[in-house]
Amino acid sequence: MRPVAVIGIGKTPFGAFGDRDLRSLAVEGGEKCLANGRHAPGQVDAFFLGNFAGPSFAGQNHLAPYVSTALGIHGVPATRVEAACASSGSAFFHAYNGVASGVYDSVLVVGVEKMTCQPTPRVTEILAGAGDCAGEIKAGSTFASLFAMIARRHMHQFGTTREHLAAVAVKNHANGALNPDAQMRKVITMEQAMNGKPIADPLNLYDCSLISDGAAAVLLAPAERAQEFTDKPVRVLGIAQASDFVALDQKPDITTFPAVRLASAKAYQMAGVGPADIQLAELHDCFTIAEIIAIEDLGFAARGEGGPFTLAGHTARTGSKPINTSGGLKSKGHPVGATGVAQICDLVLQMRCEAGARQVPRHSLALAQNLGGSGATCVVTILGTV
């Protein structure tokens, strides 16, 4: 396997865009990325599209060539990857393998989702398709209620409190307020975060990620050729994808995600680093409790300590381990199929010192964690400027 670099990034803003369809969002992200990586469409050897539910949200199937041809990319393999909210993280993982193995020299990965064309009850129903439809979903579960059960159990087992959950929301909203591409640029107080409208007890409005439209894209090439296309290449030092049961009731312990532990252990080993070396991270905060558990599963804090670690300010932009400086899924937005690649784009911005008002001083080793469903898929990527 040969070393791989991210040579280009591109993103649309995230938000609710009534006048935009899935393809126009994907094309905007892809075109910005090709320009950023100094590539013409004809130089791309393969195209991967991360998308969770375009056919359900927008009625369109066969999405990869539908997008790639609109980008002017013709003839090459164009493949859609679906892994719930980890769709584009997984697309990135497969693109990485294509370049690392020497099969391709230049791969474009676009993640996209167009969600706001459906009302919230229908969005909730479509998202529930990432759960076990014959069991937990048939019994009435939604993703908010599944993560509510996870939160309740974490509270029972470790003493995690509503205040710990709210601290995640307050921090991510503060970061998102500094991100010009974030959907919700609104600072919230602890009091607001504690008292949002109830969604699924103990989770309220401010514990939930947003319903969003948006796209993000990255361009990968062999590291040895990266300088031809960018002055600021970022290396993929470690990457792994892991899987687990889809249904929550099949997991022996719902306060930890084995797929996150497995993927991160492999990625750390591949990069030759450990949790203490990571300087900043973008974590999958689809619900506030998910960020707390990710902090623990990735080894940033001991089990049960993710909440206190957050409340103490360690994960703030000015803390020892800044997490979700983009605003995270909570405030930046969560167009589910775009999220994994958007995390990579946000870390690359930090590593290139192009993150504007939210720039952090230590940014040479970063980690992205992209989760699908209630933990059935996880992709962990470690990036470095070395």
Ligand X SMILES: CC(C)(COP(=O)(O)OP(=O)(O)OC[C@H]1O[C@@H](n2cnc3c(N)ncnc32)[C@H](O)[C@@H]1OP(=O)(O)O)[C@@H](O)C(=O)NCCC(=O)NCCS
Please report whether residue 208 would count as binding ligand X according to CB under 6 A. Answer: yes
Least distance CB 120 / ligand X (angstroms)? 3
Residues near 113 by beta carbon (within 8 Å), at least 6 away in sequence: 22, 51, 52, 53, 54, 57, 212, 213, 214, 215, 335, 336, 337, 338
- Find the part of the chain contacting ligand X (CB under 6 A) among 92-100, 205-213, 236-244, 252-260: 205-213
Helices 339-351 & 87-100, crossing angle to 10 degrees?
Answer: 60
- What are the CA-CA distances from residue 287 to residues 157, 227, 332 (Å)? 18, 39, 13
Least distance CB 278 / ligand X (angstroms)? 24
Least distance CB 254 / ligand X (angstroms)? 15
Place of tokens 């070393």: 3
Please report whether residue 257 would count as binding ligand X according to CB under 6 A. Answer: no
Q: Which residue among the candidates 164, 173, 334, 363 is catalytic per the annotation?
A: 334
Among 47, 158, 206, 300, binds ligand X (CB under 6 A): 206
Can you say how many angstroms the Cα of residue 235 is from the centroid of all Cα atoms in its chain?
Answer: 18
Among 5, 7, 127, 236, binds ligand X (CB under 6 A): 127
Token pair for residue 113? Answer: 């989702």
Q: Which residue among the candidates 85, 208, 345, 378 is catalytic per the annotation?
A: 85
Please report whether residue 189 would count as binding ligand X according to CB under 6 A. Answer: no
Least distance CB 185 / ligand X (angstroms)? 11
Among 53, 210, 301, 323, binds ligand X (CB under 6 A): 210
- What are the CA-CA distances from residue 270 to residues 236, 237, 267, 295 (Å)? 10, 7, 5, 20
Pairwise CA distance, residues 110 & 344, whole Å: 11
DSSP count for the chain of H helices, then E strands: 13, 11
Among 22, 26, 286, 349, binds ligand X (CB under 6 A): 286
Active site residue 334: yes
Pairwise CA distance, residues 87 & 129, whole Å: 14
Please report whether residue 120 would count as binding ligand X according to CB under 6 A. Answer: yes
Active site residue 85: yes
Binding site for ligand X (CB under 6 A): 85, 120, 124, 127, 143-144, 199, 205-206, 208-211, 286, 334, 336
